[in-house]
Amino acid sequence: MPFIWKEELPDNCPPDDAISPDGKDLFRLVSSKPPSDNDFDSYKTIYPYKQFSVSDCQAKSISVLNDLWEIKKIRKLPIHKNKMIVRLQLERKDGLIKQTGNINHFSWWVSKYFSLNQCEYIE
């Protein structure tokens, strides 16, 4: 299935080694309950003129983690202390992911087919 992306992506993005998230439990910090579309904007969209230490392709993805304990640790950081955790029950139609950074971190390129109804509030 060809993807229609939530955001305009650079050429050759997502990378060839990105995979389907189908069947993975992934977690994300969100600012609102219920989550809003803005909770799934990339840093490149939020800060369009900022220079990032990663490629533009990766800056156009959003961060998700595959370990609840790890995302709870991140939520203890002052910048994230008021955020909530959602579990994402992603399907093949929802985009592509690639493990980046530490072993629990994934970059997710979100397709327009992703629905906020797929978010399960954890805490």
**pLDDT attached to residue 48:** 86
Tokens of 17: 């080694």
> What is the value of pTM for the model shown?
0.92
- Please list, in sequence order, all residues whose beta carbon lies within 8 angstroms of the beta carbon of residue 26, skipping any fewer than 6 positions away: 64, 65, 66, 87, 88, 90, 97, 106, 108
Q: Identify whether the C-beta of residue 26 lies closer than 8 Å to the C-beta of residue 64.
A: yes
Cα-Cα-Cα-Cα dihedral sign, residues 58, 102, 92, 110: negative
**pLDDT attached to residue 107:** 98
Q: Which residue has the tokens 């971190």?
A: 105
User: What does the domain layout of the chain look like in residue ranges?
Assistant: 25-121
**pLDDT attached to residue 49:** 85
**pLDDT attached to residue 38:** 94
**pLDDT attached to residue 1:** 60
**pLDDT attached to residue 101:** 86
Consecutive 10-residue averages of pLDDT for the chain (123 residues): 89 96 92 93 90 93 96 95 94 95 95 93 86
